[in-house]
């Protein structure tokens, strides 16, 4: 999501979110930090992955829309000289930056960096990634971050996280955007139709397989994978409004103590936002935290509160005791570093280029706990969760559980169920085309499953049985899901210079569509 040069000057003159009505501090709430989840779109997706890896001891779920693998920039991030190489490798959609496929050797280096930093305490132990749930979204009309990048992300996670915990949805005709059912419900002018790229990069999409009148709800799918069945609040009935707060106290230099001279020294805005449901303001009420990262061209400097209001997360947070933190990056340009004209989060090392302490060091500090943006966001998290204690997992009294289908693609289905008190595990059963249900592998400890290897456009039914005292207890309700159709083969390209889909330049592999879209 990169803006046209024609619109850049206008966006950079905007200074929304400054001034009046800024709370002095973030609230201190009763939030269990180990129930934290993160999400992001585009550069925010890369940032969500970085936070999920660097702080994996606390992050239990990561939702990624149009993002790539951890430390995708590799050595191109050192010194900033290789940003065009990083774009060619980690986006692959702009013909101006020649595509560099993410090779098996690249993935080994990305994996190796995480393992090395884990062993040297620069990030949390990578063994924690085995406990995370991972939700990955890629629209097949996305010409900015192409499908091979999303597939490489799934591959990278598969080296640390069980495949039964990784969901990859690539079956919608979406372009490069935050997919938000709430944006459509509110009637906001911020929304694009599903296959359109541009504007505010917030799109509404019908689900696949088609359900009459039903919009695909990306936030609802991801959050229910992470937290289980949740209630939904209509946009017009939310119990609160997002509140502005000053990010300045949390912005430090690399030493973690010295304040930055100005927020734009690390390309973060002076104002962030937080959504606190009315229930979470009550003294002692246990709550959970979700961090939502905007993409390039979506910061408050450029869009005001459009992303905060219309991303679709608040509607799922409101009735479920989930606080939502919306940190803000900001555009920076000119003679001073860092150079970040589109207000992207740092996934290619632009903050490392100006830090003399990184000279002679290996590339990648930005993706570790010492990365100035990761550290700043985590200070916000620690402030919000400072009154928190370990909250008991939701459970039900009897030996039965409520099962639901959270999401599906052409080859996968996501199942989630309520944890059962006293259960040592769960066994999932699947049936297709009227056949006898069969157990899917070993009993699971986690109350969710990503069932893979399914056939497109096929009906499946599922039940789950808790294991109590070594025996299977009463079965859950039966649920059905029809997988999506197999997505068409699309190869869109999007020009950052022109701000629109284009035909590939000479020498770029051709594909279909180019200036058109797949339906």
Is residue 385 domain-shared with residue 410, that is, in the same domain? no
Residue 7 lies in a domain: no
Same structural domain for residues 29 and 93? Answer: yes
Question: For 58-111, what is each residue's pLDDT tens digit?
Answer: 999 999 999 999 999 998 776 555 688 899 999 998 888 888 999 999 999 999
Percent pLDDT > 70 in the chain is: 85
Q: Do 485 and 209 contact (CB within 8 A), yes or no?
A: yes
C-alpha dihedral over 43, 47, 52, 55, to 10 degrees?
180
Three-state secondary-structure class, residue 273: strand
Can you give the pLDDT at residue 297?
Answer: 93
Q: Residue 489: pLDDT above 90? A: no
Q: 517 in a domain, yes or no?
A: no
pLDDT band at 6 (very low <50, low <70, confident <90, very high): very low
Report the SS3 class of residue 128: helix
Reduced 3-state DSSP string for 255-268? CCCCECCCHHHHCE
Contact 40, 345 (CB under 8 A): yes
11 pLDDT above the threshold of 70: no
Residues 216 and 297 in one domain: yes
Q: Which of 197-201, 307-311, 359-363 has the lowest mean pLDDT?
A: 359-363
| Band of pLDDT at residue 512, cut at 50, 70 and 90 | very low
Count of domains observed in the chain:
2
Tell whether the model's pLDDT for residue 187 goes beyond 70: no
Strands 288-293 and 36-41: parallel
Task: Answer with the residue of higher pLDDT: 326 or 5.
Answer: 326
Q: In this predicted structure, what is the pLDDT of residue 434?
A: 79
Q: Does a structural domain hold residue 306? A: yes
Query: Does one domain contain both 382 and 412?
Result: no
- Give percent of the chain above pLDDT 90: 68
Q: DSSP code of 446? A: S
Provide the pLDDT for residue 339: 85
Read off the pLDDT of residues 108-140 as tens digits, 9 standing for 90 and up: 999 999 999 999 999 999 999 999 999 999 999
* pLDDT category of residue 280 using cuts at 50, 70 and 90: very high
Q: Is the pLDDT of residue 459 over 90?
A: yes
CB 67 within 8 A of CB 38: no
Indicate the range of 58-67, 310-319, 499-508 predicted with least confidence: 499-508
Note the pLDDT of residue 126. Answer: 98
What are the structure tokens assigned to 168, written together? 């990859």
Residue 323 lies in a domain: yes
Question: CA-CA distance, 60 to 56, in Å (whole number)?
Answer: 7
Within 8 A by CB and 6+ apart from 168, the residues are: 136, 138, 150, 151, 154, 409, 412
Eight-state DSSP code of residue 514: S
Q: What is the mean pLDDT of residues 19-42?
A: 83
Q: State the number of CA atoms in the 13 A half-sphere of 338 facing the CB.
A: 35
321 and 440 inside one domain: no
Of 356 and 223, the one with more pLDDT:
223
Query: Using an 8 Å Cβ cutoff, are 370 and 363 in contact?
Result: no
CB 423 within 8 A of CB 467: yes
What's the whole-number mean pLDDT along residues 173-194? 83
Residues 385 and 456 occupy one common structural domain:
no
Domain that holds residue 460: 403-482
Tens of pLDDT, residue by residue over 411-420, are 999 999 988 8
Residue with tokens 């859950």: 476
Q: Are residues 37 and 129 in the same domain?
A: yes
pLDDT at 125: 98
Q: Give every CB contact of residue 341 below 8 A, 6+ residues apart in sequence.
A: 3, 8, 12, 331, 332, 333
Instruction: Judge if 190 and 287 occupy the same domain.
Output: yes
Question: Do 39 and 322 contact (CB within 8 A), yes or no?
Answer: no
- H or E, element range at 322: strand 322-326
> What confidence tier does 13 reach under pLDDT thresholds 50, 70, 90?
very low
Domain boundary among 360, 389, 418: 389
416 and 328 in one domain?
no
Whether residue 500 is contained in a domain is answered as: no
Give the end of a domain, one of 356, 389, 422: 389
Q: Is the pLDDT of residue 16 over 60?
A: no
At 323 the three-state DSSP class reads strand
Residues 123, 114 contacting (CB under 8 angstroms): yes
**pLDDT over threshold 70, residue 7:** no
Q: How many Å apart are CA 135 and CA 194, to the nearest integer?
A: 19
pLDDT at 147: 95
Q: Is 314 exposed, middle or buried (0-12, 13-18, 19+ CB in 10 A)?
A: buried
Q: Is residue 100 part of a domain?
A: yes
Mean pLDDT of the chain: 87
Walk across the sheet containing 288-293 and list its strands.
166-169, 133-137, 59-65, 36-41, 288-293, 322-326, 271-275, 243-246
Work out the average pLDDT over 377-388.
96
Are the CB atoms for 260 and 294 separated by under 8 Å? no
CA–CA dist 115, 158 (Å, integer)? 14
118, 227: one domain: yes
Calpha distance 370→353 (Å, rounded): 14
The reply to whether the predicted model has a pTM over 0.75 is yes
455 pLDDT above the threshold of 90:
yes
Residue 413 belongs to domain with CATH number: 2.60.40.10
Q: For the CA atoms of the chain, what is the radius of gyration?
A: 22
Residue 301 lies in a domain: yes
Q: What is the pLDDT of residue 375?
A: 98
C-beta atoms surrounding 260 within 10 Å: 15
Tell me, what's the pLDDT at 96?
81
Mean pLDDT for the stretch of residues 180-205: 84
Same domain flag for 377 and 408: no
- CA distances in angstroms from 152 to 106, 143, 369, 371, 409, listed in the order given: 10, 16, 23, 23, 18
For 339-380, write each residue's pLDDT tens digit.
888 999 999 998 887 654 544 456 789 999 999 999 999 999
Last residue of a domain, one of 389, 419, 437: 389
Instruction: Work out whether the CA dihedral 382, 385, 387, 392 comes out positive or negative.
Output: negative
- C-alpha separations of 20 from 23, 84, 243, 269, 326 in Å: 9, 39, 12, 15, 18
The pLDDT of residue 289 is above 60? yes
**Residue 356 located in a structural domain:** yes
Are 111 and 146 part of one and the same domain?
A: yes
């Amino acid at each position: 999501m990169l803006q046209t040069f024609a619109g850049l000057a206008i966006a950079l003159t905007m200074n929304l979110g400054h001034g009046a009505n800024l709370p002095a501090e973030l609230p201190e709430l009763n939030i269990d930090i180990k129930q934290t989840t993160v999400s992001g779109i585009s550069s925010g997706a890369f940032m969500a992955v970085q936070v999920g890896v660097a702080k994996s001891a606390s992050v239990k779920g990561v939702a990624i829309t149009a993002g790539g693998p951890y430390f995708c920039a590799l050595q191109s991030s050192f010194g900033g000289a290789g940003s065009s190489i990083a774009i060619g490798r980690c986006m692959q959609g702009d013909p101006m930056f020649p595509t560099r496929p993410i090779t098996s050797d690249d993935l080994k280096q990305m994996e190796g960096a995480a393992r090395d930093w884990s062993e040297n305490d620069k990030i949390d132990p990578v063994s924690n990634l085995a406990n995370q749930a991972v939700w990955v979204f890629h629209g097949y009309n996305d010409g900015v971050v192409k499908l091979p990048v999303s597939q490489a992300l799934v591959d990278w996670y598969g080296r640390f996280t069980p495949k039964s915990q990784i969901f990859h949805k690539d079956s919608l005709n979406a372009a490069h955007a935050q997919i938000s059912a709430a944006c459509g419900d509110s009637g906001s002018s911020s929304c694009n139709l599903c296959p359109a790229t541009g504007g505010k990069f917030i799109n509404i999409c019908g689900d696949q397989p088609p359900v009459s009148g039903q919009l695909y709800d990306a936030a609802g799918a991801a959050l229910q994978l992470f937290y289980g069945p949740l209630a939904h609040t209509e946009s017009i009935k939310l119990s609160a409004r997002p509140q502005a707060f000053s990010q300045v106290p949390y912005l430090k230099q690399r030493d973690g103590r010295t304040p930055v001279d100005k927020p734009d020294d690390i390309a973060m805005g002076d104002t962030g936002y937080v959504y606190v449901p009315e229930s979470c303001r009550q003294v002692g009420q246990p709550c959970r935290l979700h961090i939502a990262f905007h993409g390039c061209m979506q910061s408050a400097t450029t869009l005001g509160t459009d992303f905060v209001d219309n991303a679709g997360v608040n509607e799922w947070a409101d009735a479920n005791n989930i606080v939502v933190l919306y940190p803000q990056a900001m555009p920076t340009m000119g003679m001073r570093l860092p150079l970040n004209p589109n207000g992207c989060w740092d996934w290619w090392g632009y903050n490392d280029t100006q830090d003399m302490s990184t000279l002679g060091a290996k590339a990648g500090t930005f993706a570790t706990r010492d990365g100035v943006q990761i550290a700043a966001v985590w200070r916000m998290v620690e402030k919000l969760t400072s009154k928190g204690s370990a909250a008991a997992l939701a459970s039900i009294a009897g030996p039965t559980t409520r099962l639901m289908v959270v999401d599906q693609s052409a080859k996968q289905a996501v199942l989630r169920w309520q944890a059962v008190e006293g259960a040592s595990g769960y066994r999932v059963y699947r049936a297709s085309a009227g056949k006898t249900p069969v157990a899917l592998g070993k009993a699971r400890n986690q109350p969710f499953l990503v069932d893979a290897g399914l056939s497109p456009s096929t009906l499946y039914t599922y039940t789950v049985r808790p294991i109590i005292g070594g025996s299977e207890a009463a079965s859950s309700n039966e649920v059905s899901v029809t997988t999506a159709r197999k997505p068409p083969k699309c190869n869109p390209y999007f020009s950052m210079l022109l701000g629109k889909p284009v035909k590939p330049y000479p020498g770029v592999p051709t594909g279909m569509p180019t200036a058109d879209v797949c339906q």
